[in-house]
Structure 1
Amino acid sequence: MIRVENVTKVFNPGRPSEYVALRGVSAAVPENKVVVLTGPSGSGKTTLLSLLGCMARPTSGRIHLGEREISSLPERFLAELRRTAFGFIFQSFNLVPGLTTLENVMVPACPLGQPRHQVRDRAAALLEKFRLGGKIGQTVESLSGGEKQRTAIARALINDPPTIIADEPTANLDTALSLEFLEIVGQLRAEGKTFIIASHDAIVHEAQVVDQVISLRDGMVVPAGPHDC
């Protein structure tokens, strides 16, 4: 379980451009569940997502991963957590142009120093799982939107993290591809993965596969309602 306790996040503190993104947020993400953060632009959901994924530190408050308090860990430990505890799916996929589909999936495993043939075999198996076995040697520029999304999911899984962090994963997908993404989420949840998704998309936060919706507005958790998407 991941827990945030009375967390605030202030950008540019003490400057004229100071901005309070989160105001005393407390929330919990259970293991093996799909949790969606939703709310209007500027609500703080992406900031909260970045804190949950150890991509940023809170200004105050605490974050716990299991029984371990992680919000005050040195950066080198947070970097290790990002590599092993989390996989990341970005809104624009963030695939590396010029690299093949297989090479893109392998990238997050490079800092772990594992034998290349083992990483390659694991990446190839993931691509095969997501019906991309025939695209292994193609550069990512040649892939369709749905193929890029599935490549991004495979890349997020290459280090077998227990938790997947996804920021607006359907923003660049049509309805059919969004539903395909949610089907994959359901399959991975059945395999024991936890998902934390930030999304404006009603298709996502109203999906049957979602276990919990955390709605934010003005940097605070509010009761979920029909206008919080």
Structure 2
Amino acid sequence: MHDLSGRTILLTGASKGIGAATAEALGAAGAHVVAHYGGDRAGAEAATAAIPADRKLLVQADLADLGAVRGLWREAVAWRGRVDVLVNNAAVMLDSPLAADDDQWDAAWARSLDVNVKGPASLLRDATRHHLERGGGVIVTISSWAAQRGAGNPDLTAYSASKAAIKAATQTIARAHAVDGVLAYVVAPGIVRTQMSEVSAQRTGGEEALTASLAMKEWVPPSDLADLVCYLATGRCRHLTGATLDVNGASYVR
């Protein structure tokens, strides 16, 4: 069990999937959790149900609205006077097929860049400046194996590009501020057992065919990602900063 007692952690996208599992794990490890959600408050409440009231703060914000994103950061810091760890997890996976009309294509790219890049990058900026003032801190970005290898589904061009962009931004912070104690990690999951992945699988031949293509013949459980995030949040493995940690059951080995 990782001990995160006394640490304040801002987690985006805490209402479902990887975020919900991570919120639960962070709480079990003793962290004070700022659980961000977009529109699903009930999901965020369920994910944080086991966390004592004095160790959790639920905050709504649309990550496509930079004013709301900056408000989220200010509220997170004001709660306990600091944020020790930022976990940039929230994202959307929108179809951007080449055959789409111009309006659909433009809308998918705009929303993907707003929610998956510009919002998280704003939080990345705020967290880095905050950590520099405080003498160090931790940033964890949840990216995707699509950022390394491209998406298996050609309709997810905007999604894979957005995940590559926030990955590069995180690595830039890691390189620039390792000497300052700002530790920044990228976690790149493969196929994770989430609703978003299940919906995507139905568009590309079905879950059975996708599972058969995986080396372990099974999807990554969200709890694996949650446990890894908890470990990174401790800040104990300083020399891992800048790394991209692949979590895909050997289906993609670099």
Bucket of the pairwise TM-score, normalised by the shorter protein: 0.3 to 0.5
Q: With structure 1 as the length reference, what TM-score do the two structures score?
A: 0.33
Task: Answer 1 or 2: which has greater strand percent.
Answer: 1
